[in-house]
Structure 1
């Protein structure tokens, strides 16, 4: 957990080391600092800042490109400050052309993020598992990836190239785009929303030798929910679980509010909730109490 006065262990080399390890790296989605803390406390080594969840929690709206670069980076900065594990952030399309991508990469580096993924959708983008997407040309996206690689100042900062072309141009076109993005310098390749296990295997067979691959285990999305053993067998290195925490929180809040509405008080819901003291411990009150004593000036 990111303590107020601790000197954090550099996260970016740790992410590189994890990605080079023998097992897939699991990265649940965090939509805010609290969900990120819960992910870290559950024992996961990487936090993924979900753009879908960030949009939903900041605006109450769907993931259709409503947030700006600064709003997304601000959320990433708060998440990074809350945890000690590496954070990978959704950087959407880079928020403009290749020059905008340069600034996007620099802002995320300054925020302490360990890596981002950039996608080849037309702005305003849509969630990768929604219909109605459009993609820019391969040439334009190659320029964006090249700009991202040139912009980073820390060589351990991870750049993930995502293509949404499978739903628009077909899986073969998406694979060819991913090849071009690898040649442009992307560290990992992310073919979004393959529709069948055969498609998932084709992606692995065609691209696995070029760069480590990302599998987006989008809860309720269009990609089949493969077992982790099969994902590992196919050679995927990074597995994202983008919205499960958001859906779980939504379900929990609904249940609580239903009880409150029905009974007029939340008493019946309290046994299923964390105790007050447990929650204040979770968010770091013991550290605050210790620092208050340390700096009391007496």
Structure 2
């Protein structure tokens, strides 16, 4: 359906919808008006951003070759159509247009019924190429596969960033350990063992990594908010609910800190191998 000349057509979906639109993933609340005579329509976020329609507003839609006054009852979240979509109750659509055709149908199977048998029976009743049957599991698998392929480069960049960060920690602590070998020799004279000095290096590496992890989490949170609240709205015309995976972030941060501590200890081993007397003698 083309609402405005020169604009990209929007999708019109006719399906059974209750008066309050509880079946839809609504954004905000629905505007219900039982006294209104205009049929209710539900618009997507993209359509709201492009045309500026608001819940409760009355609009004219070109149905069956004539303008029909409708009432916007609410806004729903649609990730499939970036150019906009609007939904009308199937009974209202058939009453206004007289169109009885159906393009899509969802079939809910009874317990114990094999989906393949139902699909084969439906295919046998129609001419070849008429029906296209898809299973929910297949649709979900394809969607996740496309999603994972899209973010494969992101996962690779994360791995590269972690490796570069650990290499930087190791190089920094290797240089510090060489510069502090006299200090380590003095500590050995005071009675500290190599294990205790290694534990000290591990704590320093963990503290340095902890500061970096906190900075990374804050920067990542800021970038995530910009992507969700700004980029998604401007580029795709949809909103997203923010959910922070505290458990996964805590595990990932802990692993990075532990790896940084181990890298610091491994880098400082070379400096700790030198004898305590030789290390202190350099100051004489």
Structure number with higher helix proportion: 2
